[in-house]
Amino acid sequence: MMFRPMPILSVLTVISLGILVLLGNWQYSRYSEKMSNPTIAEQSEEKTEIRVVIDRTHPGAAQQVYGFADSEPIWRRYVPGVLEDSQEPVLVMLEATGGATPVPVALADLPATVAFEGFIAEREAGSAAFAGRDDPENDIWYRLDPDALADRLDLEQTPPVAEPVIMRVRNAADMTQERLTLNPYAFAKPVDPLPPERHFGYALTWWGMALGLIGVYVALHHSRGRLRFKKA
């Protein structure tokens, strides 16, 4: 066999080949990671029916926590209450409003009770979803910090957080308009709606492009007379 590689093309091909293989490996690792973690459906099977009596006698307002849902900014409204059956105190995510600016609401103006399927758990302070500064005086937060919210609401202790699996998102410009959507903050693990099979498909695509690049490289050298396969 005779082979005289084109120097510049060979260097560029090796670099491109390495990038394509790395991208394929990265997507395959995402596929493996998701296959080993509980799916949304599996996590949803653990949800329970929750009924909360909202503390409308509290003089404060709903605590607005910034987040994202359906690729748009939202403000999640957290309010104090008690579980209807056990009277255990909870901090419940009542609903959310869409838009860049939160819509204030007094606790006295909220419904007396709320019922949904979801989760109740002790939550640690999360990371900031946006590089904004908390404004406790105006009940505005850029991460969920149950301890800080409890202090702002002057609660005796930090209660567990109740999150619905499906949340109501109101239009900030017209509060009569609303939609129901998956609450990505309800689950113990962050929700990524992209199925693992999609990552596997992406991995095959990147690896296929790498094989195609090798084929083009070999064919080009053969057509230029730089690669010959000689019989012994």
The predicted-structure confidence for 19-66, as pLDDT tens digits, reads as follows 999 999 999 998 888 777 655 545 554 689 999 999 999 999 999 999
Kindly report the CA angle at 111 between 108 and 117, in degrees rounded to 5? 135
Measure Cα distances from 4 to 41, 216, 225, 230 in Å. 56, 16, 9, 14
Query: pLDDT for 112-127, tens place per residue?
Result: 999 999 999 888 887 6
| pLDDT mean over 184-190 | 76
- pTM (predicted TM-score): 0.66
